[in-house]
Structure formats: C-alpha cells, structure tokens
Amino acid sequence: MYQRIGQAAYKADLSNTLTLMEILEQPQQSFKSVHVAGTNGKGSSSHMLAAIFQEAGYKTGLYTSPHLVDFRERIRINGQMISEAAVVDFVEQYRDQFSSLGLSFFEMSVGLAFDYFRKEEVDIAIVEVGMGGRFDSTNVLLPELSLITHIGLDHTQFLGDTLGAIAGEKAGIIKPGVPVVISERQPECDPVFKKKAAEMEAPLFFAIDQVRPSRLYMELDLKGAYQENNLRGVLAAVDQLQAKGWNIQASVESALSQVCALTGLRGRWEILSRKPLTICDTGHNFTGIQALMEQIKGLSYRQLHIVWGMVGDKQIKDILRILPQSAFYYFTKAEIPRALDAETLKREALKFGLAGKAYADVPSAVKAAQAHTLSDDLIFIGGSTFVVADYLTHLA
C-alpha cells in the first residue's frame, strides 16, 4: 500500500476505481458528499466540516487518510469508527474479485467506505482526497461542494514540481456546475482554479473574499496558528452549503470548539502532557513544518527537544534547513519501509547544524527525550505522520 511502500503502489488512473464502483453497484451515487483536496489542511478541514454536520443533527460519514493507530479511523459515521466485523465482511465478500482486479489498498479502502456509507444511509459524507485529486480514487463523486485547501510542494514525483502543476491536479476534483471553495489565495494557483472552474461552469469562491475577519474569532479545539486558513475555507464552505439547503450555520461555533471529541481527530498540534509540555503534529512537508516551527517560536520553554523522523521521499534538505539549531534532536525511524534510517538522518541533519543522537524506534527516542528534560522544557514529536502514528500506537 502507498502508506507503507510509496511510489510503487501509486496508480495515476481511475479505471480500477470505476470498475470497483460497478462491482459495488455505484455506492458513490447513493449519498450526498463534500469533497476536500489540498496539500496541507485537508484533513483538519474535513474533520471540521464533519463536526459541523454532526452537531447540526445530520448522520455524517467521514473518510480520511492515512490512519494513525487503527485502520478503522479512516471510515467513521458520527465520529464512530467502522466496526471490525464490517471490514472483515466486506473483504470476505469481495476478496476474489479484488484479487483478480489487482486493486490497491487505497482503492479497496475507498470502495469499503462508500459501500458502508450507502448501507448506513448517511445524510452526507465528508470525503478527503488521498493524493492529488484528478486521479485519486475518491474522484468518482459528484459532490454538493468541492473544497480545496492550501497548495504546497509535496508528492512532487507524482503531481509535478511547481505549485501551478500541483494545483492542476487538485483542480481535478472540480465538477460541472458544482460550487468550489478555495481556502487560500496563492498567486501561482489562483489562475489554475479560475480556468478549471470556468471550463466546468462551476461557481468559484475564494474564502478570503467571502469570510469577514471578525468571523474567525472563535474558540477552536484544533490548536495551531495554521488552522486560521483552514477555518476560513470551512466557513466559506458552510455558507455555500447553507445556501444549498443544509441547515448547519447555527451549529458552527459549538462544533468547532469540540472537533476532536466529535470526530476522533488526533495528531494536529496535540498536547500529550504538560510537564514537560509535549506536543505532536503530523505536519510533514516543507510548508507544514515551516508553520509548525513558527508555532514553536511562540511558546515559552527552557530547552527545546525534538524527536524527529522523516520518510525518504520528502524534501529532506529543504526541511532540515528550517529546523532550529538551538534544539537537541532525537533522530528516529518510523516502522514503515519508506522511513529514512535514523543514522542517515542524523548525518544529514549535522550538515545543517542540527545536533543529536539516533534511536532505533520512536518510543525509545521519546523515552530518551523524557529522560533529559526538566519540567519547563518542550518536547516536540514529528517530521512524519508515521512518527506520530508510532508513538500514539505505543501509548494506546
């Protein structure tokens, strides 16, 4: 599966998914949906929207990826994970057909989610794109609304090495006549979205033009300054969905104050302990990590300890260049084949003035950090979704 293997598991083609939908008798046509793409912020935005619909009383499906601890995190209804029995039954029912088709892990997961949402008769499903948009398996939906969050340089070997090219892939979710909200204005991306929306005759809304700054002053349980742009996009999406007849405006503030409790979201500026203050975050590309480092600068602490691991297909040198030299590092490796060896990471980091030690796995790296901290220190755990996943699994 792509989550573990990387490039070899990626398919830039929807033919398998279309065949899968035929086998499952077109489940994607049986429920209303909101489709969410982007480089950074699409997961948080999806969970925010799901919380808003739940709080308004709608039976709400949520499909996201990757998972952190349990595969079933990817498929939820009103915050509750799909049951183990439902997963097993689905695989047993279709195993032979899936094997003969050579379906990917992600394609099967999308099929399972859509089949489950149909069986459970959800009122609406919030569906997060896995990667890109144009060829993503989720892109068989005809949604109520499309939402595209921040565009950054990630998965460049698949999506292109410019923001404009990547925006073109994300714009692939724009459907004929379906309103599309863009969370942020970005000079390289805006013309791409305008052109695609015009081709599709899809009403296009830039959130910054739609949402007054005064509306952003509300209490969010999703911490992190980077959530402001996500919030703006979500509020603009809510306006458009309300206009289409979804009665959700009144539930916004209440829902956004308890997104994690309502949806089960974890790993977004998550505080794991207070003394010492220990925070994890799944931000893993240049833009995401840049935002995290700015957030850390705003905190008060004696010494910064960073537990850090990366996967081998990221912009390693660009990212290492922006990490603080004043921190002490605990370099580590998540338990997936794509992960960069800890000793290799340590050697690369040293070239950028980042000093520390290497540890074989994430729990041992965190344990070492805890052994060297005082109560007024800060421990940050991150660099990769899978580093956070390994530690949360260890805590479970």
The CATH number covering residue 285 comes to 3.90.190.20
Q: How many domains does the chain have?
A: 2
Do residues 348 and 236 both lie within one domain? Answer: no
- pLDDT digit string, tens, across residues 314-348: 689 999 999 999 999 999 999 998 899 999 999 99
**Where does a domain end: 263, 287, 322?**
263
Do residues 244 and 278 both lie within one domain? Answer: no
Do residues 245 and 351 both lie within one domain? Answer: no
Do residues 69 and 184 both lie within one domain? Answer: yes
Do residues 284 and 158 both lie within one domain? Answer: no
Do residues 158 and 213 both lie within one domain? Answer: yes
Domain hosting 319: range is 270-395
Which residues contact residue 23 at a Cβ distance below 8 angstroms, ignoring those fewer than 6 apart?
A: 94, 97, 111
Do residues 137 and 286 both lie within one domain? Answer: no
Tokens of 20: 């899968």
**Where does a domain end: 263, 290, 319?**
263
The DSSP result for 225-282, as a single string, is TTHHHHHHHHHHHHHHHHHTT---GGGHHHHHTSHHHHH----SSEEEEETTEEEE--
With a pLDDT cut of 90, the percent of the chain lying above it is 85
Instruction: For residue 108, give the CATH number of its domain.
Output: 3.40.1190.10
Residue 174 has pLDDT above 80, yes or no: yes
- pLDDT digit string, tens, across residues 223-260: 878 899 999 999 999 999 999 999 999 999 999 999 99
Q: What pLDDT sits at residue 2? A: 41
Do residues 237 and 285 both lie within one domain? Answer: no
Do residues 310 and 187 both lie within one domain? Answer: no
Do residues 84 and 204 both lie within one domain? Answer: yes
Q: What pLDDT sits at residue 338? A: 85
- pLDDT digit string, tens, across residues 149-160: 999 876 656 676
**Where does a domain end: 263, 284, 313?**
263
User: What does the CA dihedral 18, 22, 27, 28 come to, rounded to 10 degrees?
Assistant: 20
Do residues 182 and 287 both lie within one domain? Answer: no
Q: What's the rounded mean pLDDT across residues 179-191?
A: 96
Do residues 247 and 317 both lie within one domain? Answer: no
Q: What pLDDT sits at residue 6? A: 47
